[in-house]
Amino acid sequence: MKDSTKPLVPAKAGTQSHKQELDARFRGHERKTGVLAGNTMANPVDYAINHARLTIAALAFLLIAGLVAYLTIPKEAEPDVKIPIIYTLLSQRGISP
């Protein structure tokens, strides 16, 4: 196997040092994995995409739990609901309804 790492050599004038190159590589890795400065929940969308089975399982659980809750809630055929009624009266001379 061929080793893809570069040997450590002193930096030439006007070029990046080896440390800067390594830092750039690690920053690229952080962008791809969604890990920025140790924060694993930097982007929830990336996390959901990278963990598709977990996302689908959570969605299925929430849908089934919602359906069970909806079906088990007691319901009345004709509930007693009082609708508030407000009468407004405006009087002014010269105006007829």
Question: Can you tell me whether residue 69 is helix, strand or coil?
Answer: helix
Q: Report which DSSP code applies to 39.
A: B
Position 61 scores a pLDDT of 98
Tens-place pLDDT, residues 10-22: 555 555 566 666 6
8 Å CB contact between 42 and 50: no
Question: What number is the average pLDDT over the span 36-62?
Answer: 84
Question: Can you tell me whether residue 36 is helix, strand or coil?
Answer: strand
8 Å CB contact between 21 and 6: yes
Q: Give domain limits for the chain.
A: 18-72
**For the chain, give me the number of helices (H) and strands (E)?**
3, 0
pTM: 0.41
Tens-place pLDDT, residues 54-77: 999 999 999 999 999 999 999 888
